[in-house]
Amino acid sequence: MRGRVPSVPRGVRHQRPGRARGGERGDFPSRTPLSRARPARPLSWTGAWADRYHPASVERVGRRQFLRMAFGGAIALAAGGTLVAALGRRAGRLRRVVRSAPAFGTTANLTVLAEDPVQGESAARAALHALREVEEALSLFLPGSEVCRLNRDGALEAAGPDLLAVLRVARRTWVASGGAFDVTVQPLYAAYAAARAAGRRPTEAEVDAARARVSSRALDVAGRAVRLAPGAAVTLNGLAQGHAADRVAAALRAHGIVHALVDTGEIGGLGRREDGRAWTAGIQHPRRADAFADLARLDGRFLSTSGDYATAFDAGFRDHHILDPRTGRSPPDAASVSVVAASGLLADALSTAAFAAGPEAGAALVAEAGAEALFILKDGRSFATPGFPRCDA
């Protein structure tokens, strides 16, 4: 029901916003189940918490923001609202190779650790080549990409492996989420974007007309052939960067790389940092561009965040790029959902699906997939699934 305060799923733990979180020892600030907890204060950024976790300066790069501050190194805020804790001191004989490239309308970043710099350079080149292949298949920013050609022509007779792999996951996520996640939502997004350009909100009639063109049943995949029903269109923005992170990581592993940090818009940590510690990522505060709300260990996993702040159609974040095709509106409860999962594609799909499904259904969906999530609600409260890997900076 729109506007209600959601009840909290069983089995999740209360997060008291505005306080430093526990770390690798698992010491949460509070172990009180949220269903029995007092409503938390809105996220607070004063006092010691602000002093420790509030960067002094922000560098904006497209829709990704990179924060830098001096506590053990730089911290970068990356795609969908994640920050990546910088490397510590170099240890042993590992050498760092750092590369970046434009991708999906932003900048992808790659840090490779290798004893042999030549090996590291070769691996980084292969990883960036894999990234380009994914972008050429899945990006709405490239008019010649497979997904753009599919939307323009209504059919592809010989889709490539990247598009086919992502469409398979899209179909499964659509079914698992009860229709809350749907890659054919693009006509609905276009209706909101057009209305915003005209300085207004879309009318109910416009929303209904767009919704009538949204359904994964309109997307047919048979072998390598992909077809869309007339009027349908696809966006893979809730999957593409996660899949790109997987492809990049696979390319690095194929070149013998054990330790690396991948940022394609979703964050993946392979192995360990130079100092032997786990790669650490953080989650953007949904209402403060220059702060973040929590920290998480990657431990070989991937982190994806979906937030209402990424592309908002109004100043109050009521309407934004995450749309529930079942209602035609943006989900009313969450400000952001962050998911840690075994693959970038799974994390990406789940963060979007859990946001669209709502806190209760979203938490159940994440748990069923064997992943972990942190939900930050519009009213300032937040909760995490029991195994969400919080950590100290």
Residue 29 in this model has a pLDDT that exceeds 80: no
Q: Binning pLDDT at 50, 70 and 90, where does residue 3 land?
A: very low
Reading the block at residue 239, the tokens are: 């999957």
Lowest mean pLDDT among 43-52, 100-109, 262-271: 43-52
pLDDT of residue 282: 83
Dist CA 151 CA 218 (whole Å): 12
Torsion of CA 27, 346, 306, 125, to 10 degrees: 100
Lowest mean pLDDT among 11-20, 219-228, 269-278, 338-347: 11-20
Per-residue pLDDT reduced to its tens digit, 91-104: 468 999 999 999 99
Lowest mean pLDDT among 50-64, 217-231, 377-391: 50-64
What is the rounded average pLDDT of the residues 51-75? 27
Higher-pLDDT residue of 20, 323: 323
Dist CA 299 CA 277 (whole Å): 9
Per-residue pLDDT reduced to its tens digit, 171-188: 999 999 999 999 999 999
What is the rounded average pLDDT of the residues 159-164? 98
pTM of the model: 0.78
Residue 54 in this model has a pLDDT that exceeds 60: no
Residue 251 in this model has a pLDDT that exceeds 90: yes
Contacts (Cβ under 8 Å, ≥6 apart) of 119: 255, 256, 257
pLDDT of residue 290: 87
Residue 141 in this model has a pLDDT that exceeds 50: yes
Question: What's the mean per-residue pLDDT of the chain?
Answer: 81
Q: Helices marked H in 83-215 — which ranges?
A: 117-138, 146-153, 161-176, 186-197, 204-211
pLDDT of residue 392: 55
Per-residue pLDDT reduced to its tens digit, 62-73: 323 322 222 222
